[in-house]
Structure 1
């Protein structure tokens, strides 16, 4: 394992408006790498997540009785991690003695193991491949509200 994993996060937000309209725009970027000490290649990868977020909130008031709200959000997220990942791998790393494996079995490119400790964590990270996912999410909320205070104070109709 590496001594640390890198984490980067940056965001920008813009807000403003007046009595009639208000806006908020939020941009966010995040990247985090894992603790596995393996190179990134076409067949192996340390755990990694990279995400971009965009969020906009717009509020409008018009004709003194109507309020409208438009909220839009989007996210692009990419993940890479070893094919053998999660609780089983961490259980093996935590419970197996650190000196029981030779990294490679001579020049035959076969990974070593023992009858008592069959799942070589190093081999699991370097020889079982990697998984990559790429997700895109778009969310939208719309709301229109009519203030009916002229009928009864506090009464409104919302869609």
Structure 2
């Protein structure tokens, strides 16, 4: 069950990478960070451990919120996929501290908290994501997954 959930989260997260990039399309950079490029190649090759290393380096070297947020969010996704849930939470927390309205980081941090068994923390992050982007189906799917997993309807409780 966790394995199939991970695959959905990875696919959704990697899809969000492109959505995030599109949402910041008005910003033009003439030089791409080489670590981001290497990380993307590693993801395509299926080497998520190496991808996490490159995204981590990129998070320390990129400048500007428009570039940093997608890097941190993707690092969170990759660390989650690697089973490094604490590292995933750390990356998403950095993204949230950079931009409190970055709903994707709340969603992904909630997924990592859920994987660690922190259901209340997960619900809190899912609800923040839902408040920031009420139209996203991803948050509703995450909350529905919690209901199925625990039998508790978090949407009604929180």
TM-score normalised by length of structure 2: 0.23
Question: More helix by proportion, 1 or 2?
Answer: 2
Rg comparison, structure with higher value: 1
Question: More strand by proportion, 1 or 2?
Answer: 1
TM-score normalised by length of structure 1: 0.23
